[in-house]
Chains A and B, each alone.
Chain A
Amino acid sequence: SYELAQPPSVSVSPGQTASIPCSGTKLGDKYASWYQQKPGQSPVLVIYHDTRRPSGIPERFSGSSSGNTATLTISGTQAVDEADYYCQVWDASLALFGGGTKLTVL
């Protein structure tokens, strides 16, 4: 079955850049979305179509994709960005999520 792989955790110091990769064999053919989820809250869409940022999402969030890897980048990371991040792709109308990455801002 098709899977999306993410590192379980990423740590970053405040003000530094955090990069969260998501790899999958079909990522080159599909757009990736990224969701932020804080404890006890519903997920929030932060990136869609690999690189596009919804209105209201801070500019420090950006996305990229190359080959079989999509990457979420947070520039100038703030304490408020500490959360779980999930990548997701669409296979027609079916959604597949990555395993999630816990971002810790030390």
Chain B
Amino acid sequence: QVQLVQSGAEVKKPGASVKVSCKASGYIFTNYPMHWVRQAPGHRLEWMGWINAGSGYTQNSQKLQGRVTIGWDTSASTAYMELSNLKSEDTAVYYCATRGYMYDSLDYWGQGTLVTVSS
């Protein structure tokens, strides 16, 4: 069965960077895109970007342009999301999610990774 297992919670200081990983299993990793979505406490879901896990092509949201880097390691079936120059408003739960494995939308989600930015 499809599983997306994310790395553990992080606490970072303002200005630092954080890297969240998402290990996929149960399907051919390179066949489906991986998206990243975050949710600040009490706020809406916010799309951050995606990676074509076959080619490595990425697109990021304009709001986070320049601060977010999405990558992958096909040998480890793992996608990564790195956010730099962290601010307090980046405190959120970060999710990875596949698109299109079963259904043409975000059909499988990771368990989420809480990133706390605090001085």
| Per-residue contact bits, chain B 15-47, to A (CB 8 Å; 1 contact, 0 not) | 000000000000000000101010000001111
Q: Do the beta carbons of B110 and A42 come within 8 Å of each other? A: yes
Q: How far is the CB of A72 from chain B (nearest CB, A)?
A: 13
- Give the docked Cα–Cα distance between A45 and B110 (Å): 13
Q: Do the beta carbons of B106 and A45 come within 8 Å of each other? A: yes
Q: Do the beta carbons of B106 and A54 come within 8 Å of each other? A: no
Chain A contacts for B47, CB-based, 8 A: 94-97
Chain A residues within 8 Å of chain B by Cβ, number: 24
Q: How far is the CB of B32 from chain A (nearest CB, A)?
A: 12
Chain B contacts for A49, CB-based, 8 A: 104-105
- Give the docked Cα–Cα distance between A95 and B35 (Å): 9
Indicate whether A45 sits within 8 Å of B107 (C-beta atoms), given known contacts A93-B33, A93-B59. Answer: yes
Chain B contacts for A44, CB-based, 8 A: 109
Any chain A CB within 8 A of the CB of B102? yes
Q: How far is the CB of B27 from chain A (nearest CB, A)?
A: 16
- Give the docked Cα–Cα distance between A1 and B54 (Å): 30
Chain B contacts for A86, CB-based, 8 A: 44-45
- A: residues with CB less than 8 A from B are 31, 33, 35, 37, 42-45, 48-49, 52, 54-55, 86, 88, 90, 93-100
